[in-house]
Chains A and B, each alone.
Chain A
Amino acid sequence: MTDSTKDEAYIALKNVRKSYKIGIEPIPIFSGLDLTIPRSDFVAVMGPSGSGKSTLLNMLAGIDLPDAGELRIGGNRLDRMGETARSAWRAHNMGIVFQFYNLLPMLNAAENVELPLLLKPLSARERRVRVGKVLDLVGLSGREKQYPAMMSGGQQQRIGIARAIVADPELLLCDEPTGDLDRKSADEILDMLRFLNRELGKTVVMVTHDPQAALYARRTLHLDKGSFVEENRAA
């Protein structure tokens, strides 16, 4: 992996175009989006429903591709990589947290968290140790054998975060990570994300509808009609 660490643009989108065909008419979502996010930033992305927040996040994850323009992360042109290369890139560089946790219901907590480690050349023992560490970090040690169905939403999302960080990626992508949680659980999760950003230096991009959640970020981007209309730098 080429590493342009010194340059401040860890993530750089240049003139990104993206549209979806609904019927025959292509509906443009982005027509020339520019965005730079430096390393170790914590960005909240807000905007009305349908404004393309998830689409942006999916592109950052290499799950979706721009129709045109540049998508560069950590010096890699994601838009020029093939499917397999992007899978491998995801496995090594990024963790993803979903609104509905997306835990595999028939795997227990430890097995869910272990999934990204299966992509790395680690022994079963090494994997167990790392799973234990992150479960401890999210405050769920001792619950290795529990199944998702037995857990509250807040606990499931903590498993989700543990799974996102277990392989120690640089980038954390969160699509409404607290959208399905009560205030208290949401704050716990947001505290955790802030900790990961401040203490461990992870770059966090978080989509949210909740202005309170956005306060945890270093800055907030408002997405509307295909571009960022306002930029807010917090403390």
Chain B
Amino acid sequence: MSSIIRQTLAMLRANLFSLPRRLAISLSMALSIALVVCVLAGFLSMAKGFEKTLTGTGSPSVAVILGGGTNQESGSDIPAGAVRVLEAMKSDIGVIRNAAGNLVSSRELVVPVEVRSNEGAGERTLALRGMEPSGPSLRDGVRLSAGRLFAPGAREIVVGARLAQEFPGFGVGDTFRLGAVDWRVAGHFSARGSAFESEIWADLDAVRSAFDRQGQVQSFRLRLVEPFALKTLQNALAKVTGTPLVAISEADLYAGQSSRTADLIRLLGWPIALLMAIGATAGALNTMMSSVSDRTIEIATVRALGFNRLPTFAATWAEATLLGAFGAVIGTAASCLAFNGWQASTVGANNARMTFELAVSGDVMLTGGLLGLAIGIVGGALPAFAATRLPLTAALRARGQ
């Protein structure tokens, strides 16, 4: 082992053993770093959880047709005539048909409804989706967890499992008022935690009549024979005149929503975390400066014995880095415990609430941890340099311990 490394290790040991002398300030450095890590991990896990929920939602083999020049359901409008033209196409348009040769499809309409939440804290907007009877079968991973589906034409709803948990009055068999009319809760469905679970489903015609939306269609869902058949469908849509129609895969529809919102969360989170990181770096700098002044005599003593400048630098820097790493570990552990699985909700698609779980994933922990470590490294550099510049004569003049 080289002499420099031995010197550094000996100094580092002396540093770390002397940490109890600086317990309060060293802990406060580690904790302020942990706090920054927590804040960043909080935002990132929110973005992550949101993404996970939405990317888990769509299927690449379901096509969603939208009209009116938008690629989102909310502003979309498909004229009834356009749907009829599609239904009349007998050529191969890349989608699955039933035995009779008719499209397996669902015309759909989403209506935002105000619902009083469990905590009594005001009202929340939920998405009530009117769909045709084949609608549920056009969604992958959907399973009835209680009761049955809505009956065609009836004022019945099936409620996503997440909503059923959150709101009172969604028990199977209960009557629930949405808009101006009462609905009977026919069942609950689960969808692997995806965004579908934040929706309420009902028969298309029942929704249209209850909310006075006769004849309106926002989206038209079809099952593709295979994901690549989307192109065939898009070509077919180009032949529909009178209104611009687009077909996108359900997966892309939700991924597009998720990246917009997740980016927004990150865009909000990073500057806050970085601002706090600057504060924590200043704190780390201060802590390490006081560590150097606390160890002045020791540093000067070993330098007088013949130790190099480099080990003084390295040992001080390593102390800062270790404190940073310690803070990063506390921060990631705390955010893992505090945030992972935490329920959050935000305005998702169709301006309705979407509930999701925060996900403190591996890359979230890594990013947060690295930021914490960086604070230690950056904050420790200057004090480490200062440690090499201690005036030895003045330090040795001071009384020893």
Q: A96-B304, A101-B400, A105-B18 are in contact. Are A115 and B3 (CB under 8 A)?
A: no
A115 CA to B397 CA in the complex, in Å? Answer: 21
Residue in A84, A99, A101, A107 whose beta carbon sits within 8 Å of that of B17 in the complex: A107
Number of A-B contacts (CB under 8 A): 83
**Counting CB contacts under 8 A, is A158 at the interface?**
no
Interchain CB contact under 8 A, A61 and B3 = no
**Residue pair B3, A120 in contact (C-beta under 8 Å):** yes
Please give, as numbers and ranges, the residues of chain B lying within 8 Å of A87 by CB-CB distance. Answer: 303, 306-309
Q: Are B14 and A107 in contact (CB under 8 A)?
A: yes
Which A residue's beta carbon lies closest to that of B18?
A: A106
The distance from the CB of A168 to the nearest CB of chain B, in whole angstroms, is: 13
**Pairwise interchain contact B10-A118, C-beta atoms closer than 8 A:** yes
A98-B396, A105-B401, A119-B7 known; A163+B14 contact, CB < 8 A: no
Q: Is B286 an interface residue (CB 8 A)?
A: no
Annotate A55-77 by CB proximity to B: 1 below 8 A, 0 otherwise: 10010010110000000000000
Binding stretch for chain A, among B68-76, B244-252, B294-302? B294-302
Q: Which of B14, B307, B309, B393 has a CB less than 8 Å from the CB of A63?
A: B393
CA distance A107 to B401 in the complex (A): 13
Query: Which among B18, B306, B307, B400 is the interface contact of A100 at CB below 8 angstroms?
Result: B400
Q: Any chain A CB within 8 A of the CB of B6?
A: yes
B interface, size bucket: 20 to 34
**Are A102 and B400 in contact, CB atoms less than 8 angstroms apart?**
yes
Residue in contact with B302 in the complex, picked from A54, A98, A115, CB distance below 8 Å: A115
Interchain CA distance A25-B113 in the complex, whole Å = 84
The verdict on A88 contacting chain B, using a C-beta distance below 8 Å, is yes
A115 and B18 contact, Cβ closer than 8 Å, known pairs A58-B393, A63-B392: no
Contacts of B17 in A (CB 8 A): 106-107
- B399 CB within 8 Å of chain A: yes
Residue A211 at the chain B interface, CB threshold 8 Å: no
- Checking B297, B305, B396 against A115 with a beta-carbon cut-off of 8 angstroms, the contacting residue is B305
Cβ contact within 8 Å between B306 and A106: no
Q: Are A100 and B399 in contact (CB-based, < 8 A)?
A: yes
**A83 within 8 A of partner (CB):** yes
The B301-350 residues at the A interface (CB cut-off 8 A) are 301-309
Within 8 A of A (CB), among B15-30: 17-18
With A64-B393, A104-B14, A106-B14 already in contact, the answer to whether A116 and B306 are too (CB < 8 A) is yes
Can you spell out 21 A-B residue pairs with CB atoms less than 8 angstroms apart? A54-B397, A63-B303, A87-B307, A90-B304, A91-B306, A96-B305, A98-B301, A100-B401, A101-B400, A102-B400, A104-B302, A107-B17, A111-B10, A115-B307, A116-B306, A118-B6, A119-B6, A119-B7, A121-B3, A148-B401, A163-B305
- 6 closest cross-chain pairs (CB), A and B: A91-B306, A100-B400, A106-B17, A90-B306, A102-B301, A118-B6
